[in-house]
Each structure stands twice: as structure tokens, then as C-alpha cells.
Amino acid sequence: MSIQVTSVSKLYKEQKALNGISFSAKKGEIIGFLGPNGAGKSTMMKILTGFITPNFGDVLVDEIDVLQNPIEAQKTIGYLPEHNPLYAEMYVREYLQFRAQIFKVDKKQIESCIEKVGLTDEAHKKIYQLSKGYQQRVGIAAAILHNPSVLILDEPTTGLDPNQLVEIRKLIKDLGKQKTVLLSTHIMQEVEAICDRVLIIKKGRILKDQSLSILKNSNLQVIVVLFDKIISDNDFKPLFNLTSIQKENESWILTFDAKEDMRPKLFDFAKEKELKILELSTQQKNLETLFREITG
């Protein structure tokens, strides 16, 4: 396993940022670490990279115990922190040379990294002269200079325009062919575009750990229905296969996990309860709906 996290908890005073998280990643997997703000994503990433220590649990990266040997572990990890700290006054190449020197990396690596992340035409410029998308590339180049086998990217696409988004996603996908990548985001489409697996967390707990292909082929149906009378959540008990119930204004958003079409069942249900259906529609089942359902 490239990453093995077992029962990790982290407290910031009374605030429980992580609450017994366990997951693993195989070599060559791109994992989307998804969750609302404050879910604990950055905290988990800082623990994985050895920048902070958990109160409880074990973390192995490339079989190295990060808590016991953080320096050794960091040799196998490339990390792009959330706000991509760069020295804006430095030239791109100069900054990478500086990083190579600090981390005792062979300078020959610099040119190949510049090429790999598509910075060849920008490498002579000062970092502040670059667009946000190219600055992200500098951050990624710095993260892969020492040729790590695991890449940890904390919200690498935040603040990018749509074209830059596509380019950075493509770059991450390419890097993922040789490396294990864990990337945090709160955009489901991003996960859909580049990841093999998704880990959804909320309030420091993992709510879902699943491969994208399984998620995409699930039998979720979302039906929005408006009845003529007010009813409560409990009234839906007779309906089978119902995985979530949400109310939006007067309408109910019902998510079913079933192979058969649930609309006729809903009509039978209404008849039995002496309700009249005023409106009924189905919502496109997609990962965005699923994310809202899981984290909502």
C-alpha cells in the first residue's frame, strides 16, 4: 500500500478535527478527498505529510511510519499545501534551484520537472508575473522535484479559471499514471474528471470510500414530489429502498436506491395515504446529487 491510515484522530483543543479515520491507497491510484469546508481534509493531509501529529492512530506512507520517521517519509511525499506558498520575487527556475538545493536534489531534475509541468516558456519569468494556473504549476513542480511516489495536493485547482482548471486537471491525471495522488477538493465534478476513487469526509469522519466506477453505476433515483397535504418524514416509512429524504419548500426530495422505477410505487403510496400528487419530477442522478445527499 502507498498510503495506510489507521484510526487517526486529531484534536485542536476541544475541536475534534479528525475522528478515527482509516483508509488506504494503492500505488498508482488517484483519490479524491472530498468534503465540505471544515471537514478535516487539510488536517489529514498535514498529518500524512508529517507536518502535524495526530493524537491517535497510525500513518504509513510507502511503508514508512510517518510519525516515527517524518523526514524519511517526506522523501517519498510531494506536497502542495492549500495556499501554495511561493517566493513571488524569485524567477521560476531560480526558485526550483533553491528548492533543489534545500532538499539536496540533483539539479538535473529541475529541467525535466519544468518540462513535465509545462513551464518551459515561463521558467525565465518571475513567479509573480505568472497567472494563477502557472503559479500552481510551479507549486506542483516544486512538489515533484525529488521524484516522490506519493503526491498530496490540497485544493490544487481552487481559484483557477475554466481553461486553467482543465489544464491542471490534465497535469494531475498525467502525474497519477506514475504516482499515487491524494487530492482534496469540494468539487464533485473534479473528482469525476480525474479520480479513480473518492473518499468523502464530514466532521472528521469518512462517510464514503468508493471507486468512481461503482458510484457512477449505482441505482440512485432522485424523485421530487409535491403532495396536496402536509406530511412528515415518518410518513415515508412504508416506502422501501429510500436512502434519503429532504424537504425543499413544500416539495420532498426522495432518493431511492432501487433497480425498478420508483414512480409507480410513489403513486401507490400517495393513494394509500390519501394524498394527491400535485407535481412529480425526477432529477438527474449524478455525483453532485450523491455528494449533497451524503454530506447534506
Query: Based on CB atoms, which residue is closest to ligand ADP, 158 or 251?
Result: 158
Can you tell me the distance from the alpha carbon of 245 to that of 247, in angstroms, rounded to the nearest whole number?
7
Cβ contacts of residue 35 below 8 Å, gap of 6+? 41, 184, 186, 200, 201, 202, 295
How far apart CA 20 and CA 248 sit, in angstroms, is 33
- The two beta strands, 150-154 and 77-80, are parallel
Nearer to ligand ADP, 173 or 186 (CB): 186
Query: Grid coordinates representing 82?
Result: 492549500
DSSP string, 142-155: HHHTT--SEEEEES
Name the minimum Å distance from CB 200 to ligand ADP. Answer: 11
Instruction: Using the minimum distance from each CB to ligand ADP, give the nearer residue, 126 or 203.
Output: 203
Nearer to ligand ADP, 181 or 266 (CB): 181
Minimum Å gap between C-beta 151 and ligand ADP is: 17
* Terminal alpha carbon distance of the chain: 32
CA dihedral 225, 229, 233, 235 (to 10 degrees): -100
Distance in Å, CB of 154 to ligand ADP, minimum: 7
Q: What share of the chain is helix, strand, coil (3-state, %, to 5)?
A: 35, 30, 35
* Dihedral over Cα of 201, 1, 6, 148: its sign: negative
Residue 16 Cβ vs ligand ADP, minimum distance, rounded to whole Å = 8
Nearer to ligand ADP among residue 32 and residue 40 (C-beta) = 40
CB of residue 136 to ligand ADP, shortest distance in Å? 18
CB crowding 203-223: b at 16 or more within 10 Å, else e: ebebebeeebeebeeeebbbb
Q: Three-state secondary structure along 153-165?
A: EECCCCCCCHHHH
Nearest approach, Cβ of residue 13 and ligand ADP (Å): 7
User: Which one, 17 or 31, has the nearer CB to ligand ADP?
Assistant: 17
At its nearest, how many Å lie between ligand ADP and the CB of residue 104?
30
Q: Which residues bind ligand ADP (CB under 6 A)?
A: 12, 15, 17, 35, 37-43
Taking the complex as a whole, the smallest distance from the CB of residue 33 to ligand ADP amounts, in Å, to 8
Task: Sheet containing 56-61: give its strands across.
Answer: 15-25, 3-12, 56-61, 64-65
Nearer to ligand ADP, 15 or 101 (CB): 15
In this complex, which beta carbon is closest to ligand ADP, that of residue 12 or of residue 56?
Answer: 12
From the list 146, 147, 127, the residue with the least C-alpha distance to 137 is 127
